[in-house]
Structures are given as structure tokens and as C-alpha cells.
Structure 1
């Protein structure tokens, strides 16, 4: 049986003719695997999806989650990227040339950054993104970029790799990268702060506002700490 990717519209967000911007959320997964995507990985985006829909509807922001065909990237197949590119084309067909912010977690982060060259994409936010050595950066030109990573993440989606990626991308565009102190890959103890700053960045971009991040100056260090309590502001 052939599987198909699927777009899931978050209830509470803008729909139909009222859509003036889209947040496309891409969940995590595995390096390899042709099994079904993990439900647990998808559930990790529940909180930011609800927050984005609630805060963004008045500004015409639709929130859409992508359900991949497979749980893995799968080498040269780049399965997650293929699904993301399909999603972007489907959204353009349905809503026209509205701006899109890609929000990718872990595996989804790699797909988000790879797909950033799509003409509708205006920004990319990566939460603990998987950015292995050799990933291209040229497609980020003209896009806003945010990376949030735990400084103790030594998984395949390591903090060291995202830092190296950000350093290579900085000559191409304005990259903001924040580190969560003493946190590993899942960022559980600081989830409120991580998703608050990510949703703020996403909504500000889609509504043409300044995201008011702790890294306003483009020359700010790429290991700037994420302020404790940001999610309660």
C-alpha cells in the first residue's frame, strides 16, 4: 500500500478566505525508517500548535501540521523533505502566495531548513533541529532564522552541529540562535520558554512585527542563553 503525506489543520486558527499567513509545523522522527511516523513525536507539537492558533487567528494565521509518510529521513530519499515540499505546494494551491513560516523540531528541523528556498517561505524556526555537517545554507537568503537548542544535546541532532550550521549561515542571512542551559534534546524542563519564543517569532514574522528576541543585534553571539521565564511573559 502506498502511503501519502497529510496536512492537518489546527482547530481555532484562520481558515478559508481569512488566511493571510501560515505556520507549517514539522515534527520529529528518526534518521532512517519506513514505518509510520511516531505519534509521540507529533504530540510534542500540540502545545505550540494550539498557542499559534489561539494567538494568530485574529491576524489571519492558519496553523497546519504535516503528517509524514515515514518516520525517517532515509538517506538520499530525503523522505521528510519530499513531504514538506509537497505540503508547501499544496498550501500554495489552496491559499495562493501567502507567507509561510516553517517550524521544525528535530528531524522536522532539517526538512524546514532545506525547504526554506520555497518562494512562499519567509522564515524558519528550528527547535533542536537536526542539521548534520554539509547541509546547504544558500536557500536561507532573505529569510528570518531562529534556532533554539539545548546546550547538552549530543544526539544526532546535536547542539554542536546546529551551531556550526548557524555560523555558516550567518553570512547569508540574519540568524538568531539561542541555547537552553543544561538541557538535552527534548528540552522538557524549559518547554514553556522554548515554545513561547518560537511562537512569538512565528507570529511576529507573519504579522510584519519585530519578533523582539533577546538577540536583536545580528552580531549577537550564536550561543545566547534563552532567558528563564520567557514563557511566562
Structure 2
């Protein structure tokens, strides 16, 4: 499968493109040092989903979880999502976006010839590190080899007046047998307190089926 390139429309890539699993070279990026660092390992990379940034709402929207979770057509994963959010899917990912474009999350998966064992910090830096004022805020490698996560931030200019808004991101890497799942969430800073707890709860409820992912690839 082909690797996505990130084309900045504001932030994003075409979701319909296939997500690939490639080895990474360590990214050279002058950013602030995160609180903890995982040991260096062989890297794998998945690119970010698209994300359109718009000015925050004056009032926080009411968010309720849909009665039935979303199940990817491949059967590779099942995930809860909020009612009324836009869903875009490809053969190896699904993206969920707020109606007002202040935040989104996605789940993507890719196959490896052997069990994934990646340098996930380098993957985050390579994927997001070229964005303005990028900073890797915190890394949690305490659950390796089953889970690795990081929070990060970057600046985004909003048209038409080029107002700068801080965007907060969460990336979770979930190696499962020969399949690597990546949960990614983005929220404009004013919506952080509203959306991030919801994103974390959704990530914790993600159900994966690597056997279905492997069968679908055959």
C-alpha cells in the first residue's frame, strides 16, 4: 500500500489514499524536550488524517455518543463515536470530524511483515514536526510493547484573517500481532477541555481485530 503524503489544505491529506507501513529515518527537529523518552527502536510511520480548522464556537456543543459503535468494513476495528459527526473512511482508516470542524479523531491500521516494534517518537516528529511551533509535550511509554502515546501541539493560522490558534494533538500507537493501529485526535486549544476527555475515552474503548485486518489484506 502507498504511503500518504500530507498536503496542507489547512492540515491534511486525502483520506482515500492507502496508508502504508514504512521504515523511518530519525527526524531532525529542534523542539522542546518531552518529559519522558522511549528507547530507540525500528520506526514505522502512518501519516495524519485531514483536519480543517475553523474559529471556535462561543458556546460548547453538547456531545453524545451514538447508540451503535462504528465498525470498519474490513472488520479490523470497532470504535464508539459522537452522534452527528461526519465519518469518512478508506480501506484502512476511518475519520470522525465535529460538525463545526473544531476537532476530529481517526483510527488507521497498517500491516507489517513481523510484529510492529517502532520508534514511535520519530514517527510523530516526522509526521507533525514541520508544522509551525510544533512541540512534543509528553510521552507515555510505560505500557510498551502494547501501547505508546504522545501529546503534542502546533500553531495553525485561520483564514481569512490569519488568526493563530493552538492545536492540541494526541497519538496512540497500538501494535497488535502483525498489525499497527494508530489512534490520532486533534482539537483546537479552546475546545481542548471539552474534546480531549472524550477522545481519551473513545481511544480506551477502541476494539481491534488484527486477524480481520490480516484476512482483508490477503
TM-score, L = length of structure 2: 0.27
| Higher share of residues assigned helix | 1
Q: Which has the higher strand share?
A: 2
TM-score calculated relative to the size of structure 1: 0.26
